[in-house]
Each structure stands twice: as structure tokens, then as C-alpha cells.
A and B are shown apart, each in its own frame.
Chain A
């Protein structure tokens, strides 16, 4: 009985702690929603795999230290200091740049769920096939909405 009670208490504590420990910071949340990655997993807000911190940061816990794509995004904010996150993210992706120089543009890497700031992480499909798939899907989210 006491073991069961202890287990229940422990489970309760874990559940209480979960929202604070696992909640996505707001920029990750916004990016996931903007790019449609929130559809990948019903529990995406609790998943470290959906729009992980290393999409932009060098460390898994985020914070200071930006990878090549993160630095592109920072430059985008400086170029448009009064624009909101979605506007800046969209304009950076619309440049069709390849921040990590792995041969795949950043927007295609997000489409393929690989990391645009890490050259070791790149899509398995050939660039041409992935580009065709991306365009067939409508391109960037706002372009898709217009089509």
C-alpha cells in the first residue's frame, strides 16, 4: 500500500514538474507551428525531437551559441528589428540560402526534418527530388495557404 502510495505521489510530482521542464520555449513553439511540424506528433510540445533547440543553437538546451542557421536568423532580426518572429523566419527561408553549406537550402532541410545549421544532418533524398516534393506540397507555409 505504501509503495503504491509512494508511486502515485512520485507520478504526481513528475506530472506537476513536466510542464515546466518540457515546455517548448516560445520561439521553438512558433517555428514548429509556422512550419507545420506541430502536426508530426500529437505530443509535439513535449517532444525534444520536434523543432529541437539545435535547429538554431549549438547546444541541445539552447541558450547562447548559435549554429550557422541560427546566425542567419539573428541577422534577419537585425535587418528587420520591428518584424515578428514569423516574418523574420519566413524571409530568411525565402532567400533559399544554405546556411550549413551541405548542398540543401534551409527551407528544404526543415521540410525534410533535418537540421539547416548542421552539415552532418542532411536529407537522404537527392536535392532535385526533394525540391520537387517541396514545390508539390506548396512550398513555404504562407505560399501553401495562397495556393
Chain B
């Protein structure tokens, strides 16, 4: 097996990560800094709305009488809708995103789903994570991005448990619960010994490894210093979602060079009293994303980051007896950022031609993923998604 210098540095970074407890993304960033300074590239931030967000009350078909007939208690009144087109408008809680819409940097993709829809949270989420409606694959689509790039630290989940989307066949991409808590730290009493070990006189490849490791530690400290230097360019809303978005901005601003970051917002399973819950969740979503975008603008990074959001399924068209909605099929996706072609992409669902009470999806979600992979990240979508999927041109 031949190992070139780039591979050597990458594996050295992994070795340092293993021996120092250094977070993998920092080691990776250090390796990247040592090899390709200033070529960090573009980042995709994926937002997961967990629980099954109701698409019809998010992007509201306010001119459609069938919508109001199906939802006598929970429909968004026409007077409250934030008008986008003569037929569609946003939920009023999404007001913080109106500026992005007006500037052409907010896109909605209508009627998104997949063949043979599954109403189980776990099964449907797995389908979105693996990009495989047959559920035959275990690894996630972002995990396959990492395999394609050949870099096990090119993406991270911001939060607790790594979602299946970030699992590759042989490894799992890291989860970062709090960026500020990361630091290079050896077990007590070992830091001096480690330094002595690194400074021992060596020859040949061992000498090269020692020097590379010392350089890596220095570079990693620089990355950490950049993380510490970050000053938010916007006020984020309180709560985990806002904190996680701010951590994403912090990582991007620090130049860690990650291609995909993943943030989740939970609680969209609105079987009862939907208006109260979804109204609040969409307000959290919108205020967080508006702050994130404003922060990126301040940091001068807005042209290098786009956001793409999804939920595992939408809700049924008709409300249930508890002023809520049950698990449905198909929903909307959204995207925002300077690299996004704003507007509504795709056709709205026909609410008078339903399939067992659900909308009939028209756009396979993998076609939307393909846009992000090909047009934003410059990757081989067909290889990663294991198929050729067409979608709207939502990336500018």
C-alpha cells in the first residue's frame, strides 16, 4: 500500500485525534490547513424537522377552498398568511424569513416525497437518511459523501446522537454537542510526556511523522483559536436550535472546512393542538435561520453556505378530531442562502385528488438532494444517491 503525503497527513491527523482526544474535525481541519490552505470550499447545512412537519400549514395554499374545508379549526386564516404568490403564502410564524424571500434567497420545493410512502417516523426518517425508499441500505447519504470524498471528518452533526444520514459503511461521522467545550486535552499528567515523545530525536519516516504531528497540533491550536475568536454577527434565539445554528456558524467561520453540517429541530409530531405547537416551532425555525443568515453575512461567508430543510413526512390533508393532524405523505422542502434560486419550485398538490386522504407527491426528494450535491458541493450525485434523480434547479 502506498501512502502519499496527503494521505499521510490525514492518517496522522487521525492518529493525533486518537492519542490526544482532539475532536476529529479539528484534526481534520489541521490536516487540511497543512495541505490546502484557503481552499475550504462550500458548506451545505441540512436542517431536519423531526416528527413530520405539516407542509400545508407551512406553505399555505390560501386560495384553495379545499384546504379550508379540510381544516375548519387549524387552517391558517387567509388574513394571517404571508403572501408569496397569488396562491401560496407562508405561515405567519415564518415572518423572520420574509427578507430572504424578498431578496430572492429563499426557495420552497412543493410536493416532495418518495415512492410507497411510509407513515412510521422511524422508517420514513431512515428512508430520508439513506436516500433509499426500499430501506435496503444502512448507510446514510451524507456518510456516502464522506466515503466519496475520502474524508471521515468532512461532515458533522451538531447535537447529541449522530443521525443515520451521517453513518458510512465503516464509520460514523462525528456529533458535536457543544463547540465551545472542545479543546486539545490530554489525560492529567500526560501532556508533558506526550511533548517529550514528540521531541525525541528521530530519523526518516518517524522524524517526518513527529514533525507532522507537531505541526498538526500547532495548526489545531490555530483552529481552536479561530473558534475562540468567533464573535456572533447576529443575536440568536435562546434554546438548543439557536445554539446549534450558532455552533454551525462558529465552525464555518473558524475555517474547519466541513462540507456538510446537520442540525435538527424536534417536536413536529402535531397530533393534537397543532396550531400552538407548530406556530411556536416554526417561529423557532425562522428566527434561528434568520439569525444564522445574518451572522454569515456579517462574517462575510454568506456566499459560501446554503441551508436545505426537510421533514420525514407531511401530515394528512384533513385535520383530526383533536385539532391536529396525523401522519401523512409528501410535504415541502425549503432552502435558503445566497446560492439558492429563490421562489416556489414545483407544482402545488391537488387537494381534490388525494390518495387515501394524502397528497400525491410529484417530486422525489432525492432529486432535491441531487441539486445540493451536484450544483453546490460539486459531487457525483448519481454515485452518492445510487441513481439518477431529476429535480428543480433550486441552486443558483
List residues of chain B with CB within 8 A of the CB of A78. Answer: 73, 321-323
The closest CB in chain A to the CB of B279 belongs to A82
Q: Pick 19 A–B contacts, CB within 8 A, sort by A.
A: A26-B269, A27-B272, A66-B321, A74-B272, A74-B321, A77-B73, A77-B323, A78-B73, A78-B323, A80-B273, A81-B73, A81-B275, A82-B276, A82-B279, A83-B276, A84-B276, A85-B272, A85-B277, A87-B276
A side interface size, CB within 8 A: 17
List residues of chain B with CB within 8 A of the CB of A84. Answer: 273, 276-277, 280
Report, as a range, how many residues of chain B touch the other chain.
10 to 19
Report the separation of the CA atoms of residues A97 and B69 in the bound assembly, to the nearest whole angstrom: 32
Interface centre among A26, A27, A81 (most CB of B within 10 A): A81
How far is the CB of A124 from the nearest CB of chain B, in Å?
31
Report the separation of the CA atoms of residues A80 and B322 in the bound assembly, to the nearest whole angstrom: 10
A15 within 8 Å of B (CB atoms): no
B163 within 8 Å of A (CB atoms): no
List residues of chain A with CB within 8 A of the CB of B324. Answer: 77
The closest CB in chain A to the CB of B73 belongs to A81
How far is the CB of A24 from the nearest CB of chain B, in Å?
13
Report the separation of the CA atoms of residues A26 and B321 in the bound assembly, to the nearest whole angstrom: 18
Report the separation of the CA atoms of residues A6 and B321 in the bound assembly, to the nearest whole angstrom: 48
Interface centre among B273, B321, B323 (most CB of A within 10 A): B273
List residues of chain A with CB within 8 A of the CB of B322. Answer: 73-74, 77-78
* CB contact list, B320-368 vs A, under 8 A: 321-324
List residues of chain A with CB within 8 A of the CB of B321. Answer: 66, 74, 78
The 5 A-B residue pairs whose C-beta atoms are closest, nearest first, are: A84-B276, A77-B323, A81-B73, A81-B323, A82-B275
Contact in complex: B273, A88 (CB < 8 Å) = yes
List residues of chain B with CB within 8 A of the CB of A25. Answer: 269
Asked if A85 meets B273 with Cβ closer than 8 Å, knowing A20-B122, A73-B322, the reply is: yes
Contact in complex: B122, A83 (CB < 8 Å) = no
B41 within 8 Å of A (CB atoms): no
* CB contact list, A1-52 vs B, under 8 A: 20, 25-27
List residues of chain A with CB within 8 A of the CB of B122. Answer: 20
B392 within 8 Å of A (CB atoms): no
B271 within 8 Å of A (CB atoms): yes
How far is the CB of A82 from the nearest CB of chain B, in Å?
4
Report the separation of the CA atoms of residues A78 and B324 in the bound assembly, to the nearest whole angstrom: 9
Report the separation of the CA atoms of residues A66 and B321 in the bound assembly, to the nearest whole angstrom: 10
Contact in complex: B271, A27 (CB < 8 Å) = yes
B300 within 8 Å of A (CB atoms): no
Report the separation of the CA atoms of residues A77 and B272 in the bound assembly, to the nearest whole angstrom: 7
Report the separation of the CA atoms of residues A123 and B123 in the bound assembly, to the nearest whole angstrom: 41
Chain A 87-118 near chain B by CB (<8 Å), digits 1 or 0: 11000000000000000000000000000000
B267 within 8 Å of A (CB atoms): yes
Report the separation of the CA atoms of residues A77 and B319 in the bound assembly, to the nearest whole angstrom: 12
Report the separation of the CA atoms of residues A35 and B323 in the bound assembly, to the nearest whole angstrom: 22
Report the separation of the CA atoms of residues A82 and B272 in the bound assembly, to the nearest whole angstrom: 10
List residues of chain A with CB within 8 A of the CB of B273. Answer: 77, 80-81, 83-85, 88
How far is the CB of B43 from the nearest CB of chain A, in Å?
30
B286 within 8 Å of A (CB atoms): no
Report the separation of the CA atoms of residues A87 and B275 in the bound assembly, to the nearest whole angstrom: 13
* CB contact list, B261-294 vs A, under 8 A: 267, 269, 271-273, 275-277, 279-280
List residues of chain B with CB within 8 A of the CB of A85. Answer: 272-273, 276-277
Report the separation of the CA atoms of residues A78 and B272 in the bound assembly, to the nearest whole angstrom: 9
Report the separation of the CA atoms of residues A25 and B122 in the bound assembly, to the nearest whole angstrom: 14
List residues of chain B with CB within 8 A of the CB of A26. Answer: 267, 269
How far is the CB of A10 from the nearest CB of chain B, in Å?
20
The closest CB in chain A to the CB of B267 belongs to A26
B15 within 8 Å of A (CB atoms): no
